[in-house]
Structure 1
Amino acid sequence: MAFPPLKNDLLLRAAREFQAVRAHHSFFEICRTPALAKELTLQPIRRYSGLIDAAIIFSDILVVPQALGMEVQMNPGPHFPDPLVVPADVEKLTKNVDVDKELGYVYEAITQTRQALNGEVPLIGFCGAPWTLFSYMIEGGGTKTFQKCKTWLFKYPEESKELLNRIADVCVDFLVGQVKAGAQAVFDSWAGELSPHHFEEFSLPSLQRISSGVRTKLAAANIPVVPMTLFPKGANTQLTALAEHAGYDVIGIDWCIEPAAARAAVGDKVALQGNMDPNLLYGGRAAIENEVKRMCEGFKGGKAPKAWIANLGHGITPGVDPDDLRWFFECVHKYSAA
């Protein structure tokens, strides 16, 4: 059966472009190869030129445990063949991590990508929150129960705090190195899944350690401090404490809190980022438009609208149609300007 020639094959070309890279290279091979990481970082910028306001370097939060000497496989999800089982296992970790040596490939990818962007949009670097990384390192991969890592917190509280601080110190050096390499903003990913009390005892101090450590080291090197974002997914009850004490410029919120409630919790202390449920991208254009309109109205509401960054309330999932993602961007432009 013959069909008319296709006039716009951008979606198909974009899908093939990404698949071509992934077909010949493993996930962490791409992360460790600056030219490949640069290419995958640039693909959405080319695809949605004029619709998105920043690029995020292609990498993964689990490069930090790798720098600490742990093996991490991706098959297809993350798997640690030799996780930490008891506090004595911490002795297996590298004691004095040369972060620049171990993660220099990320810095090179950032530098190459910053040059290739040619000023079109800022480039964002990132790392994982210490509690998140702690969880993976003990659970041995993703988890729904957090049983093993929470056992550590409750059974070995002091040893847990020591490990969280050790992870945080590597994160500080990693983020500072990313800024030196050309990252213009940095963010630290989710830190939820704890009760308010245990969040304040175990998670918040390590987040403070990162924000203060990064600022101190950049100032000592006479490097301007870049904006820092914290994404505490699942920790909506802690937004006030985070805004007042964590030391970040922006807080990302998930879809389980209304923007107005989040703004009331943080006041004028930080900007907000978020918060559409990424699964709405599967709901069709009408659902996407309705939700984006509602989201924008929520963030802009009140007598004195505050600065906010439109974003999904968590990462995008692989099955999303790129044209539906484009529609999300177009709706954000439409309703944020209305």
Structure 2
Amino acid sequence: MKKIFFLNIFFLIIFFSCEKNTLAGQTNGLISSSKTENANNDFKEVSDLTKTLADYDDDVKKLNLKYQDLSINIRCISDRAYLEIKKNNQAVFDWKPVLLNFYYDTSFEDAEKDIHLLLNNKDTSSGYIIFPGFTEQYSTYFVYFFSKNTLLYAGNYEAKEFVKGNFSYNPKSQELAIISSDKISKLTKIKETETKSSHDVDKDLKLLAQSEQHSKNEKFEDYSENKNYFIKTFDVDKDGINDKIVSHNRYQGDELLIFLGNRNKKFDLALKAVNFSEDGGNQISDIKETKDGFELVTEFPDRGTLIKKYSISALNKKFILKQIVKESFSWQDKTSENCTQILNVDLKSNTAEVQNLIAKTKMNCKKSK
């Protein structure tokens, strides 16, 4: 009887011991799960944010970035910046003013390298955008949260040391950190700098709408099969990618368009100007590649030959008319004349201004028989 009693006690001890261990295991599992869930609340920087457009030469500076189905479009006018985000080509929100330092002790090219996208488990429905701030000693950053129809300013943060790594942001603690291979460096939230409404915003938004509509209206495909135009293909801006120059044919008009190729094998409109065809005078005859751009050639047979050659530099996406050479030959008196104009005219100026600057520039001529 005593043996049976002690055996029952023994099994009860084992039973409660096992149950305790099971409960402890379940509790540890809950704690572990909680830690994992908390870690998943952090928004981490994506590494494959790609640039699809960068045009810093117009009055409206343009930068387009892309990650999976997310398009991040940035426009800068004077010292002001605007942001638009699209998902599957549908607007998450339309243009809104943001803080972005692209002019104080920096450049557009440097600023674009310091723009960061943070997502939670690569979910593109919401996230954080980090822009470079105004730096005196250490780097500072402006942080924005975005979701459908929403863009919220989250604060201005300063790095207290120079660290290279990937950004991480925790919305609950509002902590921004840079994670490198050997350390986590937390940034300090500094005095708030909020976007303030400006009398320029409405004017800027109208300019943005016009600029975006203009870009949508002008597509290379609209001209590729049009018999009123001819097309030249070569590397206009010397970046290693072929571009397209579209020009009206002779007696069809004076329109000239340049579409610069990108690495996605698409062509973006970079210049809309004139081909220097004249009513009742010289007409476009050829477009030739040169070492720093291209040359427009116009001709007019009138009791002899009159040829004008317009040399245009296209480096760094700037289209500058550098020189005009006029060659003429008279059948009547058998004389030839060569004239040269040295210029520095931006073809992105309006046509009247370009023609006015050409007319004011002295032409040096030499005659010979």
Q: Which has the larger radius of gyration?
A: 2
The structure where strand makes up a greater share of residues is 2
Question: TM-score, length-normalised on structure 2?
Answer: 0.22
The structure where helix makes up a greater share of residues is 1
Which structure is richer in relative contact order (CA contacts within 8 A, separation 6 or more)? Answer: 1
